[in-house]
Amino acid sequence: MSVLKTEYKKEFQTFVKNMRWFQSNYEKLRRLYAGQYVAVNDGKVVTHGDDARALIEKLRGEYGDIGAFVIEFVSKEKIELIL
């Protein structure tokens, strides 16, 4: 039996692809959206904004299932994180 149902596998693949796009375009995104959250899907920024939760709600209203979307913060400056 497969570890994941086909639909979940597809969603996971799209998410990984979106994350790859986000990472490889990060410097460009920083120039355009510094200090904001971006939502990435299908090789583009579908929306952006200052408030992560408002962004998530907006996306959900517009697209329904947003599981494959990457929603990430774009820092103005390089940041050190100590978790």
Q: Which residues bind another protein (CB under 8 A)?
A: 2-4, 8-9, 11-12, 15-16, 19, 23, 37, 51-53, 56, 60, 66-68, 70-73, 75, 78-81, 83
Q: How far is the CB of 20 from another protein (least distance, A)?
A: 8
List the end-to-end C-alpha distance of the chain, in Å, as a whole number: 37
Asked if residues 40 and 70 have their Cβ atoms less than 8 Å apart, the reply is yes
Q: How far is the CB of 28 from another protein (least distance, A)?
A: 16
Q: State how far Cα 37 lies from the chain centre.
A: 8
Q: How far is the CB of 12 from another protein (least distance, A)?
A: 4
Per-residue DSSP letter, 66: -
